[in-house]
């Protein structure tokens, strides 16, 4: 089991990806995102997740340069946005992201959403980036089982990661089982449901028993389910707390109690009906 914040899962191409990372969605470009990334790296995080949509890739890149940890010890993810999807436009968008991040390569590049009629061409572009050595791993985000099956029907390289909304009220068990069967690592965005689950009585009771916060219990539940987490915060204390998950373990009964909270509730958009 995961023993420390720098422990990794091995993707199907052999690349090692940390189980815990910092998400920077809505972290403001400039000082805010730079401070958050530096705080995370100083707290032991080695994985940072951004996207062209977040408009803070330059800040992330600056923090990476100034953090004092060698580039090769970090794992940096970014994503191609929907309006840039398609073969040529994805290659151009990647180059823009790489320049903003000021990196020679990106560790993980994701298709942000399954844009109909476009995501397969976009995937071909990711395969090229991967074969050219510009990215260490490629994957998708917000893909349902049928999207993954569609990609896998005629791709050269299957996705290494699928990053989706996942939390105790949207446990994604069927998708998780499918990804495990196909050696695709599931990764959770919004793992704490934007804080909405922090007052849940079941989670509160389990947290009290472990003398941990509800956020820590929830993130631990993800890890014990084999799901990578990227909780978002710009608060240094919360960043530290979200990374402090390795001195306790949830029992099988506690895992079942948390599993039972699932109501298939989406806080974000439905991957089958999004309009952007």
Q: Please tell me the predicted confidence (pLDDT) of residue 1.
A: 78
Structural domain contains residue 274: no
- Whether 183 maps to a domain, the answer reads yes
Residue 162 lies in a domain: yes
Whether 265 is in a domain gets the answer no
Question: pTM of the full predicted structure?
Answer: 0.97
Question: In the prediction, which pLDDT does 275 show?
Answer: 87
- Could you tell me if residue 64 is inside a domain? yes
| pLDDT confidence band for 206 (50 / 70 / 90) | very high
- Other Cβ atoms less than 10 A from the Cβ of 10: the count is 11
Q: What is the mean pLDDT of residues 69-85?
A: 98
Query: Is residue 124 a part of any domain in this protein?
Result: yes
CATH number at residue 206: 3.20.20.100
Q: Which domain holds residue 47?
A: 8-259
The number of folded domains in the chain is 1
Q: What does the chain look like in DSSP terms, one character per residue?
A: ---STT-EEEPTTS-EEESB-EE-TTPPTTHHHHHHHHHHHHTT--EEE--GGGT-HHHHHHHHHHSSS-GGG-EEEEEE-GGG-SHHHHHHHHHHHHHHHT-S-EEEEEE-S--TTTHHHHHHHHHHHHHTTSEEEEEEES--HHHHHHHHHH-SS--SEEEEE-BTTB--HHHHHHHHHTT-EEEEESTTGGGTTTT-HHHHHHHHHHT--HHHHHHHHHHHTT-EE--B---HHHHHHHT--SS----HHHHHHHHTT-----SS-BTTB---
Q: What is the CA radius of gyration of the chain?
A: 18
Among 25, 45, 54, 130, the one annotated catalytic: 54
| 79-89 residue pLDDT tens | 999 999 999 99
Q: pLDDT tens across 207-220, in order? A: 999 999 999 999 99
- Across the range 145-166, mean pLDDT stands at 98
Residue 19 belongs to a domain: yes
102-127 mean pLDDT: 98
Q: Is the pLDDT of residue 180 over 90?
A: yes
Q: Does residue 54 have an active-site annotation?
A: yes
- Report in angstroms the alpha-carbon separations of 144 from 38, 48, 72, 137, 159: 33, 24, 32, 20, 13
């Amino acid at each position: 089991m995961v023993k420390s914040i720098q422990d990794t899962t091995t993707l199907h191409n052999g690349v090692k990806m940390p189980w815990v990372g910092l998400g920077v969605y809505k972290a403001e470009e400039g000082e805010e995102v730079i401070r958050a990334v530096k705080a995370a790296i100083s707290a032991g995080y080695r994985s940072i997740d951004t996207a062209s949509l977040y408009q803070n890739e330059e800040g992330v890149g600056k923090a990476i340069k100034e953090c004092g940890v060698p580039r090769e010890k970090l794992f940096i993810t970014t994503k191609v946005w929907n309006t840039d999807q398609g073969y040529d436009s994805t290659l151009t968008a990647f180059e823009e992201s790489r320049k903003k991040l000021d990196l020679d390569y990106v560790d993980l590049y994701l298709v942000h959403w399954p844009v109909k009629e476009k995501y397969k061409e976009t995937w071909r572009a990711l395969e090229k980036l991967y074969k050219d050595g510009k990215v260490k791993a490629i994957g998708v985000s917000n893909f349902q089982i049928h999207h993954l099956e569609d990609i896998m029907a005629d791709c050269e390289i299957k996705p290494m990661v699928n990053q989706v909304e996942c939390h105790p009220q949207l446990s994604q068990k069927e998708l998780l089982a499918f990804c495990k069967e196909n050696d695709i690592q599931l990764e959770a965005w919004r793992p704490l449901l934007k804080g909405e689950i922090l007052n849940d009585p079941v989670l509160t009771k389990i947290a009290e028993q472990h003398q941990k916060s509800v956020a820590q219990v929830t993130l631990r539940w993800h890890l014990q389910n084999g799901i990578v987490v990227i909780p978002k915060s710009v608060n240094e204390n919360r960043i530290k707390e979200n990374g402090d998950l390795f001195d306790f373990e949830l029992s099988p009964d506690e895992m079942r109690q948390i599993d039972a909270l699932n109501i298939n509730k989406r806080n974000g958009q439905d991957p089958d009906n999004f309009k952007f």
